[in-house]
Amino acid sequence: MHNPEPMSPGRSATRFLGALGFAISLGALGILAQGCGSPDPENTVRPATWSFIYPAIIQPSCATASCHSDFTRRSGVNFGYSDEAYFQLTCRHFVLTCPPAGMPDPCNPSVMATTDPSCPGRALDESQLMHQLRADGAPRMPPDFALPDVDIDLIGKWIQNGAKQD
């Protein structure tokens, strides 16, 4: 390897700055790595709305280059845009939405929804997305590593609230 040039006369100052940078990096890491905040097991801190869940969780975790981005569309699923992702999740039945009976079906507006009154109670258990996120009888999604439980629970809360595009 090339030998570094000898240090300049002001090297004590530069050494100090180099060491300072080193220490700052470690310090920031050491302090912040211990985990700020509370566990929030009831998911009360963040909104269980699509306008948060999509840009904060779905887009960065699922719409990646090799998976459900606009140009890869693994298994024909595209989460590259908010509207498209919502359509794919709800109208391809990854998420059970339970539209009110007698109202136009959001996935087929020419047809009136005929939702079973028991549907809202079943929505969480029967949503394929939840089984995939938890690797519960289905291959895990995302396939490279699991989402944090608290994120999965937030998506579950959104589904329980009717999985609205809110």
**Identity of the residue, 113 or 147, whose beta carbon is nearer to another protein in the bound complex:** 147
**Identity of the residue, 48 or 113, whose beta carbon is nearer to another protein in the bound complex:** 48
Stretches 101-109, 110-118, 120-128, 138-146: which one binds another protein (CB under 8 A)? 138-146
Residues 92-121 that bind another protein (CB under 8 A): none
Q: According to the binding rule CB under 8 A, does residue 11 interact with another protein?
A: yes
* Strand bridging mode 104-105 / 108-112: antiparallel
Stretches 55-63, 95-103, 110-118, 120-128: which one binds another protein (CB under 8 A)? 55-63
Q: How far is CA 97 from CA 15, 17, 75, in A?
A: 61, 57, 21
Which residues, 6 or more positions from 51, have their beta carbon under 8 angstroms from its beta carbon? 166
**Identity of the residue, 81 or 87, whose beta carbon is nearer to another protein in the bound complex:** 81
Q: According to the binding rule CB under 8 A, does residue 12 interact with another protein?
A: yes
Size of the site for another protein (CB under 8 A): 73
Q: What is the DSSP string of 71-140?
A: TT-GGG---SSHHHHHHHHHHTTSS---PPTTSEETTEEEEE----TTHHHHHHHH-HHHHHHTTSSS--
Q: Which of 89, 91, 151, 159 binds another protein (CB under 8 A)?
A: 151
